[in-house]
Structure 1
Amino acid sequence: MARKRLNRIAFQGEPGANSHLAARDAYPNMEAMACATFEDALAAVKTGKARFAMIPIENSVAGRVADIHHLLPHSGLYIVAEHFEPIRHQLLALPRAKLTGLKTVHSHIMALGQCRKAIAALKLKPVTEADTAGAARHVREAGDPTQGAIASKLAAEIYGLRIAKKNIEDAAHNTTRFVVLAAKPVRPKASDGPVLTTFVFRVRNVPAALYKAMGGFATNGVNMTKLESYQLEGSFNATMFYADIEGHPSERPVKLAMEELGFFTSQVTVLGTYPASPFRAKLKA
C-alpha cells in the first residue's frame, strides 16, 4: 500500500483538468490524484499520500497563478522539477450535439478569456464554472445539447464528450509552467546539465535594498529568469520577492551572488535546485 501511495502525483482540480493532463504527460507511469485545492495537493505530499504534486505557477497568457507564491514557502516541500504544458482548449459538446446548435459555453473564467475570439465568432454566451474539467462534467450531467464546455482533450475522454471544435485558444503560444514538489529536495550536480535555483526573499528596510540585493547577480553574471514581488500578510510595507536563477548553488558565481543577497535581506528561503526543462532550450532557439 505504501508503495502505491508513493507512486501518486497530486494535482489541483477535477479529473481532466489541465493540471491532470500535465501530470500524465510528465509522469505517465504515476497515478494522478485529484485534489480540491492547492493546499490539499501539497498536504497529500506532506502526509505521504502522494510522492509529488504538480502545481501551476505561471501561464504565458494570464501571468502568475494566484496564491502559489504564498503557499510554497510554508509548505515544507521542495521544487524538484519543472514542466511546461502547452494549453490546447477544446470546445466540447454532447456526442450527438451539433456545433451550430450550441448556445452557451461553460468553463473557468481564465479559459473563457483565452478563447474570446472563438466564443465571439460562434456567438456563444460564456458561463463561468469553477474549473475546466468541472465544466465538462456539468455539460455531461446536464444533458442539454445547447451547452458546450471549454476543457482539455483528456476531459473529453473522461466525461464522454466529443470535440466539436479543436484548439480554439486565441494564442498559439499558450503554455503553463508547472513546478513539481516533493517532501525531500533533489541534489543535482552542477555537472549534470542546466539547473535552476528558486528562492524567496525579503529585503531589509534600507534605501536601495532591492537594487543592492540584485547587484550581486549582475556583477557575477548569473542570469535571473524570473523576479516577482508579492505582499506579505496584507501589509503594503512587507514585500516578499520570488526569484528563479540559472545555476547551481555550488558554482562560484551563484555562491557569491547569494552571499551578497544575504547582506541586504532579512530572510532568504531556497525552495529548490532542480534540472531545467528541455523546453527552455526551445525558447532560446
Structure 2
Amino acid sequence: MSNSMSHQVQFHCERPRLHRLRAGDSAVTTDANLSPSRAPRIAFQGALGAYSEMAAARFGVPAPYPTFAAVCAATLAGEVELGVLPVSNNIAGDVPEARALLRSRALRLLDEFWLPIEHCLLGLPGATVADATHILSHWQALRQCANVFERHAWLRPTTVYDTAGAAKLIRARGRRNLLAIASRRAAAHYQLSVLAENIADRADNATCFVLFQAR
C-alpha cells in the first residue's frame, strides 16, 4: 500500500477483487519459509477459527485479542509486530469501529486485501434447524445471512463479539437450541456439526482487511 494511503488513511475497498494474497505479495517483508518462531506475530480480533485469524495467517502467526481496540493497543505496545482488522464487507458494508481506529496517526497502514467469506450454520452434534431457537454470530455475519432468517422466521438473531466466538459459546453452553454462523474452520476447532454451507446472501461474499503496524 502506498505511503499516501498511510498518511491520508484512504481505503480502497469499494469493490471486491477477491485476489488471494500470499505473504510475498504484501508490502510487508515476510518469507513464506520462515519458521513460526521467526514469523511476525499478527494481532486479530476474535476467537480461534475467526475469519480474521485466517487473514492474519497469510502474513505470520495469528495472536487473538478480544476487541478491535485491543488489537490496535497490542500493536502500538509492541506485543505483536502487526495487526489486521476488517474494514468492509460487500454485503453488509463498512465496519465503522475498525475504520475509526485505523485513522490514528500512530498506525501505519501497510496493505489491504479481500478475503472470501464462506459462512456455515453450525450446531452441537444432533442439533437441527427445526429445533433451534437462536442463531449467534457477529452482527456483520448476521446481516450477511439475512436469507436464513427470512426462510426460518422462528430463529432469533443474537449478536456476539465474533463468529468463532459464537461457535465457542455454543460448545461451552452445550445447548442444541443454539446455532452459530461461522467458518468450517471454527466448526472443526470447537467440534461442532455443519448443518448448512455457503449460507450468505451472495455467493461472492467477501471482507476487506487492512494490515498495519505501529509507526
**Pick aligned residue for 2:50 from 13, 17, 24:** 17
Query: Match of 1:74?
Result: 104
What SS does structure 2 have at the residue aligned with 1:74?
coil
Q: Equivalents in 2 of 1:42, 1:91: separation in Å?
A: 30
Task: Confirm whether residue 112 of structure 1 aligns to residue 145 of structure 2.
Answer: no
**Pick aligned residue for 2:72 from 25, 42, 47:** 42
Task: Confirm whether residue 140 of structure 1 aligns to residue 171 of structure 2.
Answer: yes
Deviation at 1:113, TM superposition (A): 1.9
TM-score computed with the length of structure 2 as normaliser: 0.75
Q: Which has the larger radius of gyration?
A: 1
Q: Equivalents in 2 of 1:174, 1:66: separation in Å?
A: 19
Task: Confirm whether residue 58 of structure 1 aligns to residue 91 of structure 2.
Answer: no
- The structure, 1 or 2, with the larger RCO (C-alpha pairs under 8 Å, 6+ apart) is 2
More strand by share: 1
Q: Which moved more, 1:5-14 or 1:55-64?
A: 5-14
Is residue 55–residue 179 contact of structure 1 (8 Å, CA) maintained in 2? yes
Specify the code of the residue in structure 1 equivalent to 2:133: K
Q: Equivalents in 2 of 1:126, 1:67: separation in Å?
A: 21
Aligned pair in 2 of structure 1 residues 5, 11: CA closer, same or farther (>3 Å)? farther
Deviation at 1:120, TM superposition (A): 2.8
Q: Equivalents in 1 of 2:38, 2:214: separation in Å?
A: 13
Aligned pair in 2 of structure 1 residues 6, 47: CA closer, same or farther (>3 Å)? farther
Question: Where in structure 2 are there 5+ consecutive unaligned residues?
Answer: 1-35
Specify the code of the residue in structure 1 equivalent to 2:54: L
Aligned pair in 2 of structure 1 residues 89, 70: CA closer, same or farther (>3 Å)? same
Specify the code of the residue in structure 2 equivalent to 1:173: D
Is residue 104–residue 147 contact of structure 1 (8 Å, CA) maintained in 2? yes
Is residue 6–residue 49 contact of structure 1 (8 Å, CA) maintained in 2? no
Q: Equivalents in 2 of 1:44, 1:4: separation in Å?
A: 19
Deviation at 1:139, TM superposition (A): 1.0
Deviation at 1:86, TM superposition (A): 1.1
TM-score computed with the length of structure 1 as normaliser: 0.58
Any idea what the Cα deviations from partners look like across 1:175-224, whole Å, max 9, x if unmatched? 1111100235xxxxxxxxxxxxxxxxxxxxxxxxxxxxxxxxxxxxxxxx
Deviation at 1:118, TM superposition (A): 2.1
Query: Match of 1:174?
Result: 205
Is residue 46–residue 161 contact of structure 2 (8 Å, CA) maintained in 1? no
More helix by share: 1
Query: Match of 1:98?
Result: 128
Query: Match of 1:151?
Result: 182
Any idea what the Cα deviations from partners look like across 1:217-253, whole Å, max 9, x if unmatched? xxxxxxxxxxxxxxxxxxxxxxxxxxxxxxxxxxxxx
Q: Equivalents in 1 of 2:169, 2:207: separation in Å?
A: 24
Aligned pair in 2 of structure 1 residues 48, 95: CA closer, same or farther (>3 Å)? same
Q: Equivalents in 1 of 2:158, 2:99: separation in Å?
A: 29
